[in-house]
Structure 1
Amino acid sequence: MLFSWRGGPGARLRLLSLLFLAAWEAGSGQVRYLVPEEAPHGTFVGRIAQDLGLELAELVPRLFRMASKGGGDLLEVNLQNGILFVNSRIDREELCGRSLECSIHLEVIVERPLQVFHVEVEVKDINDNPPVFPESEKRIIIAESRPPETRFPLDGASDADIGVNSALTYQVYPNDYFTLDPQNSREQTSSLSLVLRKSLDREEIQEHNLLLTASDGGKPELTGTVQLLITILDVNDNAPEFDQLIYKVRMLESAFNGTLVIKLNATDPDDGTNADIIYSFRRPVSPAVLYAFSINSDSGEIRTKGKLDFEERKLYEISVEAIDKGNIPMAGHCTILVEIVDVNDNAPEITITSLALPIQENAQVGTVIALISVSDRDSGANGQVTCSLTPHVPFKLVSTFKNYYSLVLDGTLDRESVASYELVVSARDGGSPSLWATARVSVEVGDVNDNAPVFAQPEYTVFVKENNAPGCHIFTVSARDADAQENARVAYSLVERRVGERALSSYVSVHAESGQVFALQPLDREELELLQFRVSARDAGAPPLGSNVTLQVFVLDENDNAPALLPPPPPSPWPQRVARWVGAGQVVAKVRAVDADSGYNAWLSYELQEEEAAAPGGARSAFRVGLYTGEISTTRALDEADAARQRLLVLVKDHGEPALTATATASSRLVVGPAAAAAEAALVDVHVYLVVAICAVSSLLVLTLLVYTALRCSAPRGEGACVPGPARLVCSSAVGSWASSPRRRRQRVCSGEGPPKADLMAFSPSLPPCLNSAEGTGEIEAGSEQLKEVSSSSMFPNWFSA
């Protein structure tokens, strides 16, 4: 039959209230059950889930588990119905020995949230052990002179059970001469004596053979027997006697070997050898007594010889007999009760029963991290333990039950500052001097996604040569995330937008894992000087966090455009006519060319081909070309020996590596007479026009600079639109040769910090459109009436702006 103890009705309600309140607020509680020993497997003990206030459906999700302190797997819980049942054989005597109280202490732990309950299962004794005598046969020598009512001590039987199951009654038969006299003292020691009822006559009966039976009080009753063999002697009729039947002694467990416990003194009224006494432990002697004590057979001194341990044995019962040396030895008996006094010789023990690790860095204050229990084998103040924690911040210890503590969070955590904590739990008892023990607890802080990826710079500037190979690597962005694992895994992507009429992704791409930026197509500086875009870095956390970085990709110029020739301005006739009377150094024509490149790649030089540099017949050539202006002028005065038709081959070359070239053929016809006079008059008019033009253009230049400066200062910031621009003129040399850079569809990417930037800027009067071909040949014929056309490059200096 099973019992579930909760006291009376009022006590039961109060206990249930306390149990539920403690379970919710402190995470601990206590329930008490009763189960008999030797109960078969599966025996019902109690509805533990219901008694602890737990729902059956939450036992498995909350990781319901049960631990037994010293009880092994004697009890188990069915997680389907929440019933506590007997799992294996329970032997109360093996579990608790002779202790009057025998309980199995269970610790029930559930998580989410973490709670601990304490359950006590009392094991009820049953009568499963019969009385046992220390010997199966006992020999007793009795002198015939012993008078009636003489007592002879016997070794009583022992019963491993307790209570009524160990209450023994004795019977001896046949009992014509002897009877039994059991006596129980207040020290719960049994003294069994065989009492002589009438005088013995050795000549009538020399030996008595008796059967001593011990019966316990259990139901059914169990018995044990011992054979008593009594020999009757006709000699020494006085036995030694002690002044007390029971001696009580207190000994410290720290006593050294050889410490005197007691000095016994027995007296014998006989004379001579019949009064000489020998002291000894009465057989049988328990191994514990033989290990801990020794007795001097002559003096009766009992001393310690082994280490005493209060935690192993608190009381020793030593039976001593004093035997005289008469022909018929007689013995006296006494019992010494040695009580062991506890000293503080055991340090506390710390047990960490549950750890909820790692703890997230965003955990709330009061979160339970670990359950800690302490114990001390000593008793009294020596076994009272207090716990402390170092360091204290950001954790603390909270007492939940006797000798049970919870390690809880007492502050905020930041994994990026401190990734783990090494805590030391110290336990100190109340002894003098006190003993202590420590246990280390490693608390790892779990990461949460609270840090966004961060770039080393908010903006990067990249220079890439034009005509790059498709898919070439131009830059690598890298962002660092202070979080860990998935929260620190960064993925890169483009912040998509449009560059003119095309999507940004048609120009560049970024590798999601490495952050490498690739150019998807060859870049043409003549179409796109600056490509500005943003790259986004996002981590893999939930929710993900991200940041952006700006890349400014400047396209560097390469010499990939040959000079392009410009046609002469109308209404120049073909071929041009030159008066024969023109003197040395007179400009008769001009070759004009432009280069779509910039910088040195667009800086043009002009020269005559070698075969044209010399006149026929080895005479010196009558013409030369300006190295940087392209102006064709006479080297000497023309005469009748010069051919009427002149053809000059001009080579136009840029300063790139390698240099690109174009050739132009200039033809002229030498004329005399009115045409020459007209040419001279036209030249005078041209000089006048040049003076007027210089003044006008100078004024326009100053006005343009003022307007540009005003617009530059008042231009709003944050412009980010990308608009196509017109063709731009550049000055390719310091001498003054003008070049125009045609761009059919040119894109300018503007940053958000100011107006567009250019690497080369120039101001010039209007020029005619450029040739589309990179290389061409044209004829220039000069006449005196067409010399009004003068190269504008000789009128204005070069302007460069980075």
Structure 2
Amino acid sequence: VRYRDWRWQALWWHHFFLLWNTIDGQTRYTIPEELKQGSVVGPLAKDLGLGLSEIFDRKLRVASEAGKQYFSVDTGKGELVVNERIDREELCGQRASCVLPLQAVLESPLQLHRIEVEIRDINDNAPIFPSNHLYLKIAESAAVGTRLLLESALDPDVGSNSLKSYTLGKNECFSLKLKEIEGGKTVPELFLEKLLDREQKAVHNILLTALDGGNPVRSGISEITISVLDINDNIPVFEKNVYRVTLPENSAKGTVIIQPKATDMDEGLNGEIEFSFESRTPDTVLNIFDINSLTGEIILKGDLDYETNALYGIDITAKDKGTPEMEGHCRVQVDVIDVNDNAPEIVLNSPPSPVRENAPNGSVVALISARDLDSGDNGKVSLQLPKSSPFSLTPSFSNNYALVTRGALDRENFSVYNIEITATDEGSPPLKSTKTIPVSITDVNDNTPIFSQPSYTVYIKENGIAGSILYSVSASDLDLGDNAKLSYSILDSKVQDVSVSSYVYINSENGSIYSMHSFDYEKLKVFQIQVQAKDHGSPSLSSNATVHVFILDQNDNAPSVIYPSSAVHGSLSQQRTSRSSKAGHLVTKVTAVDADSGHNAWISYRLAEATDASLFAVNLYTGEVRTKRAVSEQDDSSQRLLIEIKDDGDPVRSTTVTVSVLLEDGLHEPILDLRHKTDDSHKKTGRMALYLILSLASVSVLSLVTFLILAVKCLKSSRSSGSCCMRRSDSEDYKNPNRNLQLQLNTDGPIKYVEVLGGDMMSQSQSFRSCLSPTSEYSDFTFVKPSSTTDFKDMINVLDASLPDSTWTFESQQVSIKPGQYTTY
């Protein structure tokens, strides 16, 4: 409880001192220990300069830093008085100075004064012996000058009050001597002054008195009883003073090593012998050997280790049972014979240094030594490395080796070589051990960047937003650090005679390719980019990859009317027809083209409005305007037709054309006049049949020739991994219409293809793409799509508007390839 109170008070005062200022000042008093309670220490109030009224008003009190409250303040007189018994030895032990610090506390205002009370020692403790009665033995044959060590007395007082001297009671045989030991202390000894005679006096009782230096002097007494023992005048004698024996270190426990023999000429107990190890025998011997106290046999009880201790010297004592006991001594020397029980050890004298992967042969990696704790051949060691290791060991001196390189290193295959070294000794049987040494390989820039694929194919829609990402190429480098840090760039090349850098740019850090502007499929369908990845090594290495960019068509072009030509220029197209026209009569033909491709270029025609919807009809695919019935006299002479032309894109785009048809009596059809028309219906039918046969024959021959060319081309390129493809390209000459199909081999650009061109301007210039894959089991020949037309105004000049009726009839009846209709053979 006092300990907790003391800690609480110390904590309280600690916070108190932090919160308030302290007035420096110090008062010191000196008092002896063991003062009675209430004894005055000093005039505290006076020394602090306080009046009696201030003692009460300012609540003068003292606080002790010790565990107990030894002092208090007499508030009536302002004196510092003893509150509790003070034992200097309890407080300060054997210290020369004993000072108790106090704090005098005043309130209003709060002040602190430091007070020190020095406690002086008084001689309140007498010397004390560890035991009041000491028993000693001495042989009667003891020689003069024999010393018997006595116990020292203790006195807790200090200074002059501590222990000073000893006195010995009166006796005839012994005197008192003082022996100085470590630390300046003295211990008493009995000194034999003359020979003893047990028959005259068998026991000597002597008083030993210890005196201190106090005033008055205090003393302590110890009674000493000395027994004189009978003479045993024959000691046991061994046959030899030194015994020698050899013992293999792998000897089994329990093996009897030797049996020394001793004899004693005395009789009775004085002649009975007990064997033991000498009292100062070290633990290294006691842990390994044991002795039979009756027979003297020395037995192996522990494990021998030649490497730890190759020689044991064992001191043997033969002691009789006489009084006093007599003993003889001999020495047994055990020589331990080495056996090969220690595996060799590999020591790394220096840590392995990192090695550059292009380090030359013979570069030193680490210094290694080998050792074996065994001796002779058992301690000879040799080191070996695996045969496949790119390192070798070069001996230097006395089992020291240098680990050096002896082959090509490749950090990309092995960034760390764990080299296993085997050490073998020459013992029988030989022992071996292994040690694995990790050797780090540092990188050099010996690997070029590798793209994830040699070429990339990118499909992007036309009319995209400028600055949008097209694709991200990526490359990797097997090296490390700056040697593997890559930068991407685009190599300069031309696209339509313009630098490719004006089309795209690339993020040098991540390989993302961005468009510089929007692309127009009708102007540019495909181009390629050469991307280079370069590392930051010294010297730097680089590699290239090709990015093929295909522009995908969007339905961004509405159909454009190319016939009637007047509709193209914005005026109303007027057509004339006879009132005698029968049902199915061809009045005119509306022709339109779409600059887009694929479904976006499939055109359909529809009669949106008409003066008389029952009189005319428009063919959905050809745009032919024909009479649905025979023209009558009641029909208006001026018929207005609004024809809507739509493509098949998403979203659908359309345009309209207005055709005015004038019904006239006895009108000679201009189209019929321009053709070499005949009234013979059999000739007209024959001509149509002839056209049909010629068209079918042309397509068949074209298909056969295309297949042969593609087969030859694909066989030539079958050694490469690419495919044999042909695609339709743009018609470049609309001014020279040709009704014959043409076969053209196009090798421009990254894709090789064959173009099949048809020059019928009424159905657009067509080219078809055929793909033959050399890696597939079957090859298909496919007409894919019509190419787009880039300039439709030029086509107006080459439009043949005077085709005979038979031709129009043939086009409407034959199975022809129209825009947006594909045929596969």
Task: Give the superposition deviation at 1:763.
Answer: 1.0
1:477 & 1:793 partners in 2: Cα distance? 54
Contact 2:595–2:789 under 8 Å retained in 1: no
Q: Does 1:661 align with 2:654?
A: yes
Q: Does 1:641 align with 2:663?
A: no
Aligned to 2:496: 500
Q: Does 1:686 align with 2:675?
A: yes
1:263 & 1:202 partners in 2: Cα distance? 39
Q: What is the identity, as a one-letter code, of the residue corresponding to 2:605?
A: Y
Secondary structure at the counterpart of residue 382 of structure 1: helix
316 and 468 in structure 1: CA distance in 2 versus 1, 3 angstrom threshold: same
Q: What is the identity, as a one-letter code, of the residue corresponding to 1:657?
A: D
793 and 505 in structure 1: CA distance in 2 versus 1, 3 angstrom threshold: farther
250 and 655 in structure 1: CA distance in 2 versus 1, 3 angstrom threshold: closer
Aligned to 2:206: none
2:761 & 2:660 partners in 1: Cα distance? 27
Q: Aligned-pair RMSD on alpha carbons?
A: 5.5
Aligned to 1:557: 553
791 and 298 in structure 1: CA distance in 2 versus 1, 3 angstrom threshold: same
2:231 & 2:333 partners in 1: Cα distance? 33
Contact 1:280–1:295 under 8 Å retained in 2: yes
Contact 1:314–1:340 under 8 Å retained in 2: yes
Secondary structure at the counterpart of residue 611 of structure 2: helix
**1:152-231 correspondence to structure 2 within 5 Å:** none
Q: What is the identity, as a one-letter code, of the residue corresponding to 2:544?
A: N
Task: Give the superposition deviation at 1:670.
Answer: 4.2
429 and 696 in structure 1: CA distance in 2 versus 1, 3 angstrom threshold: closer
Q: What is the identity, as a one-letter code, of the residue corresponding to 1:629?
A: T
Aligned to 1:345: 341
- 1:584-628 Cα offsets, whole Å, 9 max, x none, are 4443434333322223322333333334333xxxxx43x444433
Q: What is the identity, as a one-letter code, of the residue corresponding to 2:588?
A: A
Task: Give the superposition deviation at 1:541.
Answer: 4.0
1:395 & 1:339 partners in 2: Cα distance? 44
2:573 & 2:322 partners in 1: Cα distance? 170
Task: Give the superposition deviation at 1:767.
Answer: 12
1:559 & 1:236 partners in 2: Cα distance? 134
- 1:344-379 Cα offsets, whole Å, 9 max, x none, are 333333322333354444333333333332322222
Contact 1:590–1:791 under 8 Å retained in 2: no
Q: What is the identity, as a one-letter code, of the residue corresponding to 1:437?
A: S
Q: Does 1:429 align with 2:425?
A: yes
State which of 628, 636, 639 in structure 1 corresponds to 2:621. Answer: 628
TM-score by length of 2: 0.52
Q: What is the identity, as a one-letter code, of the residue corresponding to 1:597?
A: D
1:375 & 1:248 partners in 2: Cα distance? 31
Task: Give the superposition deviation at 1:524.
Answer: 1.6
Q: What is the identity, as a one-letter code, of the residue corresponding to 1:427?
A: A
312 and 729 in structure 1: CA distance in 2 versus 1, 3 angstrom threshold: same
**1:328-727 correspondence to structure 2 within 5 Å:** 334-356=330-352, 358-390=354-386, 392-455=388-451, 457-483=453-479, 487-566=483-562, 568=564, 575-614=574-613, 620-621=614-615, 623-672=616-665, 676=667, 679=668, 683-687=672-676
Task: Give the superposition deviation at 1:705.
Answer: 8.3
Q: What is the identity, as a one-letter code, of the residue corresponding to 2:529?
A: F
2:326 & 2:691 partners in 1: Cα distance? 157
Contact 2:139–2:324 under 8 Å retained in 1: no
> Which gives a bigger RCO, structure 1 or 2 (Cα 8 Å, sep 6+)?
1
Contact 2:486–2:535 under 8 Å retained in 1: yes
- 1:560-594 Cα offsets, whole Å, 9 max, x none, are 21122336469999855444445544434343333
Count of paired positions: 536
Contact 1:588–1:787 under 8 Å retained in 2: no
Larger radius of gyration: 2
State which of 248, 252, 257 in structure 2 corresponds to 1:252. Answer: 248
Secondary structure at the counterpart of residue 609 of structure 1: strand
Secondary structure at the counterpart of residue 672 of structure 2: helix
Aligned to 1:14: none
1:788 & 1:382 partners in 2: Cα distance? 115
Secondary structure at the counterpart of residue 407 of structure 1: strand
**1:258-269 correspondence to structure 2 within 5 Å:** 258-266=254-262
141 and 345 in structure 1: CA distance in 2 versus 1, 3 angstrom threshold: farther
2:338 & 2:381 partners in 1: Cα distance? 16
Segments of structure 2 that go 5 or more residues without pairing to the other structure are 1-137, 144-194, 198-227, 723-728, 740-745, 766-787
391 and 581 in structure 1: CA distance in 2 versus 1, 3 angstrom threshold: same
2:531 & 2:649 partners in 1: Cα distance? 35
- 1:238-261 Cα offsets, whole Å, 9 max, x none, are 766555444333233344455444
Contact 1:564–1:771 under 8 Å retained in 2: no
1:726 & 1:542 partners in 2: Cα distance? 51
Contact 1:233–1:328 under 8 Å retained in 2: yes
Contact 2:230–2:323 under 8 Å retained in 1: no
Segments of structure 1 that go 5 or more residues without pairing to the other structure are 1-138, 145-200, 204-231, 615-619, 719-723, 731-735, 738-747, 779-785
- 1:392-425 Cα offsets, whole Å, 9 max, x none, are 5333333333232333333333344445444433
